[in-house]
Structure 1
């Protein structure tokens, strides 16, 4: 059996079996004689795995976990394996049972794992509940905050996502500053749609404190300026947005030049070096964008890739420019 042909799930189970056998060997002297048969179960499962009888291998490990309830590490590993395999119900059943453990560390891990189970199943409300509980534990707080912010992003609850960002340790906040800027831009966009111009401007100002070069904030500045009738300020903001992210030109040039006469269009294009040869927005070819993170292609601009869910990763298709900010 060639290693490269083995599914990643099977490799993970193989690694688990090897580690389990090694752990048993190291602790053998402290195990009563009546329990010396422990490795036979592992070796049976390993034999099934090597011979690609994966279902039988899983059954053996599951029986081992069920018969040795004190070995929580086996059950936790089995639960993770079931989740990776898509059997979320079986995974959550194991983790629910482990939440009744008398050992604090086991209860805490089982709680976090349940959040991952429900996240994998798409049950965001339940995932949110368990991640919230995990934020109160030292061992899982950072992981839980990261996943909790992701859940709120999926629910488009950007106010809650921003609240979670503020609860993160300083290093995490600094690494996700641009993402916090996007949360504020999402809120600003909602306010602008509701006609709340002053609140929009306040939110954009805050967004720039986290991400001073935010092309999205400049773009929204341009829309605010246009709504207020300050066309020159609008074009200045558009130019700053295009210079901050060149791929925005392909997505928003028509909007930037809307209602401008021919002379104004030429003057505006002349301020953008890469577009000086164009005499109208029609000079832009068919738009197509590619995610620098996962490679997904889109005909529409999106601030967050719908595939890998990372922010600021779309570039013009064919461009060598890849965003350095591959944030969730």
Structure 2
């Protein structure tokens, strides 16, 4: 089922399958990736209860190895529509016999989309109604059109709010995180975009200094700003030549090379106490003409 939201010049559509954002338009401009399967059949999958790849496709919980696909199972799960207004909707996923077979924990995941004339805000609440700690990782993986509007593809850049380390982890075969690093051609806070950046997989800024960054098209072109709330890791991903850029936020990340420990002990996993809730969020803000061009080169 698809849920349509509207607020002034903004429109959005969300599927109950995966609580996935399928489209976002502002002033007639399509901003979200079109889900063309020739490149990538998704637009904004939700990542839970892991982010990234598990070593050999297995997680270990209570001493038992259990199958777990990349980014977990939430993106392929049927959510329940809990509440809806003209400009907002809340979707719920709870544990079931099927989820407990691969992830033996009690949980409640709520995802709320709130549409404003110039932005879409996504709020996530992880709840632990169980009696023992809940290990989890959470993330969002939305892809936006690249180029924005009719701007030349090579004119696009990412501008971070803070100076970031100009290197990222090397992603090993199987999507695992190695200890090696590769350079990123940052110029101050600005990263000019080109296909070569993604020839070796995603750019993962773990423990990023920035809580926001902008995807900009030229000095005075349109932009999309990402503002992260309790997501310490940021990532950029595309495929060489693909007409989209994924701007991601994570609480965790893929398994280290060779990891065979318990899920609860994996680097990046959160531990949510029994009876507790944790709130995360991300806002995406559209501007038809970028401002602060002098700051972009800082």
When normalised by structure 2's length, the TM-score is 0.22
Higher strand share: 2
Q: Whose relative contact order is higher, 1 or 2, with alpha carbons under 8 Å and at least 6 apart?
A: 2
Higher helix share: 1
Higher CA-based Rg: 1
